[in-house]
Amino acid sequence: MLPKLTLVLGGAASGKSALAESLITDTGAPRVYIATAQGFDTEMRAKIADHRTARGPDWHTIEAPLDLAPALGQTRVNQVVLLDCATLWLSNQILAERDIEAAQTELLDALNHTQARVVVVSNEVGKSGVPDNALARKFRNSQGRLNQGIARNADLVIAVMAGLPLVLKGKMP
């Protein structure tokens, strides 16, 4: 059985979202997709539409690019939630010039208090070099702290590379 909180980490295009979707689909429970992406350009709008079509009608989608706590608050105990992805959410927070520490604390609290089982997808950014500018360093450091906070509270943490899962914490269902 899928635990209360799962974190799926990986690099860009590693297969993390596909793995997260399959973990949720395999439960047979009602599915909720909390989307954090924003369609600022034609390519991103097309990508969002393609993902929604590929998921099909069995997913209830909540658009929440900035405020995840209220979105998680809408979920129910019998549902399984895919939050995709924490990285885009963090980027949205930084671009909106929000208090990152307060936003991360609010998200971690919401994940701990939601009634539903939740799978969070996030990018692992700690394997690259030191960025050459302050904004990129701020993002990298914030992403690392966010991933650590989610992983600390998660029952299951999975790293994905080349579509292959590696369990870092817990046990695959």
**Closest Cα partner for 112 from 66, 68, 48, 59?**
68
Among candidate residues 3, 48, 51, 161, the one labeled active-site is 51
**Three-state SS for 52?**
helix
Vertex 155 angle, CA 48 and 59, to 5°: 30
Give me 25's structure tokens: 């689909």
The verdict on whether 51 is a catalytic residue reads: yes
Concatenating the DSSP letter of every residue in 69-90 gives: HHHHHT--TT-EEEEE-HHHHH
Q: What is the rounded CA–CA span in Å between residue 34 and residue 44?
A: 16
CB 122 within 8 A of CB 150: yes
Concatenating the DSSP letter of every residue in 17-28 gives: HHHHHHHHHTT-
Catalytically active residues are: 51
